[in-house]
């Protein structure tokens, strides 16, 4: 079955999902696409109304995105950026780019088939268990750290861009806004990241930012997994920043040096006191004191004080988590960066406590 729909957000074009599944007693089983299906895909790429004509019964399931040019100016820069980044990133917690090819003025990206994102998963199950929150949080931090180790800022982390496969593996996806970063830090546009997960430095107009913006998003997502509710669901930039202030307190120079010099900071902002995690329903129950401490560190106002994902992997919140499965999958993928950066070499993870 082919499902085709328009995507009118930042991507020009549409996403088509090919899902040719075998049925067994009402259960659906997805397998890898066959060589014949890939051949057919290359020679007869779909359009926004057509069905894929010759998928055989063993073709299985896979997913692809079509990026169209805009006003005959060539392939969008976001698509080129995503291709170049994804070809370099090989990690179990990052969606696999299987193939790339062009047809006339269209660019096709073929990804591994993962039919569920974190947002939909949370809605389906009606809320995650404590263990599942911890597992997904660890995988989120693990995948984001891998990006950062390879000098890539995702810039659009949100539940809709985190995919969950049939084995419960969380995968970062949609790198259309991602950038490789360098030193000194260049000026970027502040129109990045869905507003609910946008770091306060961007909301307050800063055009100089780096990997801490991803770490803020990670904190927002962990809180949402715990409560099944977005932490800062603003309907505009100013509404979002005020929601942040109401929960974390209005920042001043003592907690965030330089905040008054940000373009959109106003001395007339209302002065709210920190609310405290214990006053947010469900948060302490799901995360416990260690998880709330991790949250506080990821959601530090000052980007320079914000917890990195590398150190986040070593936080006590993850101390009791069985990480064997994650180590094994990373080893199978051939990635060595985790052991060098985050392990003591004996299969155990170092711990760090907040100051």
- Tens of pLDDT, residues 180-239: 554 444 454 444 457 999 999 999 999 888 999 999 999 999 999 999 999 999 999 999
When comparing pLDDT for 18 and 244, which is higher? 244
DSSP strands (E only) in the chain: 2-7, 13-20, 22-24, 27-29, 60-68, 97-103, 106-111, 152-153, 162-164, 170-172, 179-180
The tokens describing 3, both together, are 């499902």
Looking at residue 87, what is its pLDDT?
76
Would you call 307 helix, strand, or coil by DSSP?
Answer: coil
Q: Judge whether residue 349 has pLDDT over 60.
A: no
Looking at residue 19, what is its pLDDT?
37
118-342: CATH architecture: Orthogonal Bundle (1.10)
- Domain chopping of the chain, boundaries: 2-111, 118-342
The tokens describing 168, both together, are 């419960």
Nearest in space to 119 (alpha carbons), one of 25, 224, 48: 224
When comparing pLDDT for 290 and 50, which is higher? 290
The confidence band for 9, taking pLDDT boundaries of 50, 70 and 90, is very low
Rounded Cα gap, residues 312 and 167, in angstroms? 24
Where does residue 184 rank: exposed (0-12), middle (13-18), buried (19+ CB within 10 A)?
Answer: exposed
User: Maximum CA pair distance of the chain?
Assistant: 65
List the catalytic residues: 156
The confidence band for 177, taking pLDDT boundaries of 50, 70 and 90, is low
- Tens of pLDDT, residues 80-102: 666 766 777 889 999 887 777 76
Q: 4-8, 105-109, 246-250, 292-296: which has the minimum mean pLDDT?
A: 4-8
Looking at residue 88, what is its pLDDT?
76
- Tens of pLDDT, residues 12-30: 222 333 333 333 343 333 3
Domains 2-111 and 118-342 share a fold: no
Where does residue 70 rank: exposed (0-12), middle (13-18), buried (19+ CB within 10 A)?
Answer: exposed
Q: Judge whether residue 68 has pLDDT over 70.
A: no
Looking at residue 12, what is its pLDDT?
29
Rounded Cα gap, residues 309 and 296, in angstroms? 13
Q: Which CATH superfamily, name and number, covers 2-111?
A: Phosphorylase Kinase; domain 1 (3.30.200.20)
């Amino acid at each position: 079955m082919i499902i085709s729909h328009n995507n009118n957000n930042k991507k020009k074009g549409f996403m088509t999902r090919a899902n040719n599944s075998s049925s067994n007693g009402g259960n659906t089983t997805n397998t890898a696409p066959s060589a014949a299906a890939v051949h057919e895909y290359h020679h007869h790429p779909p359009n926004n109304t057509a069905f894929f004509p010759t998928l055989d019964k063993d073709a299985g399931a896979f997913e692809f995105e079509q990026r169209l040019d805009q006003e005959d100016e060539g392939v969008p820069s976001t698509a080129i950026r995503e291709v170049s980044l994804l070809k370099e990133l090989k990690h179990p917690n990052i969606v696999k780019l299987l193939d790339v090819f062009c047809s006339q003025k269209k660019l096709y990206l073929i990804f591994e088939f993962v039919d569920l994102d974190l947002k939909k998963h949370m809605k389906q199950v009606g809320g995650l268990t404590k263990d599942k929150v911890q597992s997904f949080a660890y995988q989120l931090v693990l995948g984001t750290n891998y990006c950062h180790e390879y000098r890539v800022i995702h810039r659009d982390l949100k539940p809709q861009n985190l995919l969950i496969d049939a084995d419960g593996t969380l995968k970062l996806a949609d790198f259309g806004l991602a950038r490789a970063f360098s030193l000194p830090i260049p000026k970027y546009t502040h129109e990045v990241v869905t507003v609910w997960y946008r770091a306060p430095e961007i909301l307050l107009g800063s055009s100089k930012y780096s990997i801490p913006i991803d770490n803020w998003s990670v904190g927002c997502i962990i809180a949402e997994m715990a409560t099944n509710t977005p932490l800062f669901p603003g309907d505009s930039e100013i509404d979002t920043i005020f929601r942040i202030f109401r929960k974390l307190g209005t920042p001043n120079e003592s907690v965030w040096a330089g905040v008054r010099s940000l373009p959109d900071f106003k001395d007339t902002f209302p002065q709210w006191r920190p609310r405290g995690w214990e006053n947010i329903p469900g948060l302490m129950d799901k995360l416990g004191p260690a998880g709330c401490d991790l949250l506080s560190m990821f959601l530090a106002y000052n980007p320079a004080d914000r917890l990195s994902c590398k150190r986040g992997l070593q936080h006590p919140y993850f101390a009791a988590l069985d990480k064997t499965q994650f180590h094994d999958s990373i080893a199978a993928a051939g990635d060595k960066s985790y052991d060098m950066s985050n392990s003591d070499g004996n299969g155990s993870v170092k711990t760090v406590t907040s100051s």
